Amino acid sequence: MDWAFLVVAIMNLSFVLGVLLNLGGVLTWVERKQGAVMANRIGANRAYIPIPIPQKGGGVKWSKRFTVMGLWHGIADGAKMIMKEDYTPPFVDKYIYNIAPWFAVVPVLVTFAVIPFGGPFQPGIMLSDVFGLVGADFASEWVMALFGERTFQMQLADLNVGLLFVFAVGSTGIFSAALAGWASNNKYSLLGALRSSSQMISYEVFMGMAILGLVVIYGTVDMNLIAQMQGDVWFGFLPKWGIFLQPHMFFIFMAALMAENKRVPFDMPEAESELVAGYFTEYSAMKMGLFMMAEFIEIAVIAGLLTALFFGAYHVPGVHGAGDAFYWAAHPELTPGNYVFGMEVPHVVVVVGRVGSFLAKLLFFCWFQILIRWTLPKFRYDQIMRLGWKILLPLSLVNLVLTAVVVLLIGG
């Protein structure tokens, strides 16, 4: 058995699940506090952890001030949903009713598997540098014996069809809303399921068309190669990021992704003011929690896709690691190594910098999506369909044709 590969796979899996599951909880708090700030309100601030304070005359006073700006509300919500009764109405199709929430969560988690979040790295060299700094020479020798100088990818699944995998797995999310709405045997739920089906299927078309321009430019659907190609620069300073190649398609792609997530201004499948809660009206306890958690995790997945395809993935301009075979092949005059703005540094510095860069971009786009949610009014259903079929689709088709012509004229 390749123990080194197994250890790296566990490391990557732990990172991905840790980021997604923790963000899924933290973003519920961000949603509340950011919306409150934008509406000039205080927001969630009532949940707290009491802290004992010794009194002068003896005894203890329990303080109620440790609220951490309302951060405990997410934990309180989770505990409440876990403890609430998991009620299944008698008139539903029980098997489909119970399996529908998992169609919401699983595709979202699996989609992140092909997103590169740190680039190529050499765990043997990286860990030996860290252990060497703390004087644990025996540990340095052990990790070098396990990993050697092998290069691995900070990516859960390095597929050569990564972008197609995103579309294939992401498109299965429609089953959650469709099955939940139909199985609930409720008119509001069924209307939400019908809206969700038409909206999500429609915007999957625009999402795919919007990204085809980048596929034509990069000549691959491998997410890892697309990320590596964005590590170079033009004119010595301008990063070759997707946002500079197709800036207009970035906004179309982001709009299509947000419509897939069914959040304001594209929340017609739920539409609380019209359909109670849409396709999950009949759900309670942790089943409803799975739908809500999937929505917030998908915010992070959308942010990861936007980062990987348009904003250089894990790259920081001027930072290059020894594993960047693509970069060093494009620059044979340079000596492969680990450099930060021309200065040679330990490999661990490059790795930490790249992961930090990816997380910073990820968090920015999470914040940006919540900003949009609390800024724009909700569209009518006919406006959503008109936006997609009469505006986004023609623009995507025109962009694809023009991009193909330009690439053909300049020779790739």
Distance CA(242)–CA(10), nearest Å, equals 30
What confidence category does residue 269 fall into, taking pLDDT thresholds of 50, 70 and 90? low
pLDDT tens digits, 68-124: 777 888 888 888 888 887 878 888 888 888 888 888 888 899 999 999 998 888 888
H or E stretch covering 157: none
Domain boundaries, the chain: 91-410
Distance CA(363)–CA(373), nearest Å, equals 15
CA 357 from centroid of its chain's CA atoms: 14
pLDDT tens digits, 199-248: 888 888 888 899 999 999 998 999 999 998 888 877 777 888 999 999 99
What confidence category does residue 276 fall into, taking pLDDT thresholds of 50, 70 and 90? low
Distance CA(212)–CA(206), nearest Å, equals 10
What confidence category does residue 135 fall into, taking pLDDT thresholds of 50, 70 and 90? low
User: Does 374 score more than 90 pLDDT?
Assistant: no
Cα distances (angstroms) measured from residue 398 to each of 83, 392, 395: 53, 10, 5
Cβ pair 199, 269 in contact under 8 A? yes
Residues of the chain above pLDDT 90, percent: 27
User: Does 358 score more than 80 pLDDT?
Assistant: yes
User: Does 266 score more than 70 pLDDT?
Assistant: yes
What confidence category does residue 412 fall into, taking pLDDT thresholds of 50, 70 and 90? low
What confidence category does residue 62 fall into, taking pLDDT thresholds of 50, 70 and 90? low
Sign of CA dihedral 161, 167, 170, 176: negative
Average pLDDT for residues 335-352, to the nearest whole number?
85
Which pLDDT score, from 0 to 100, does residue 64 have? 63
Distance CA(379)–CA(334), nearest Å, equals 53
pLDDT tens digits, 161-174: 889 999 989 888 88
Total Cβ atoms within 10 A of residue 37: 12
Distance CA(132)–CA(135), nearest Å, equals 5
Residue 63, helix vs strand vs coil: strand
What confidence category does residue 291 fall into, taking pLDDT thresholds of 50, 70 and 90? confident
Distance CA(228)–CA(155), nearest Å, equals 12
User: Does 272 score more than 80 pLDDT?
Assistant: no
Which pLDDT score, from 0 to 100, does residue 1 have? 64
Which pLDDT score, from 0 to 100, does residue 19 have? 92
Average pLDDT for residues 307-318, to the nearest whole number?
91
pLDDT tens digits, 171-188: 888 888 888 888 888 888
Q: What is the mean pLDDT of the chain?
A: 85
Which pLDDT score, from 0 to 100, does residue 149 have? 81
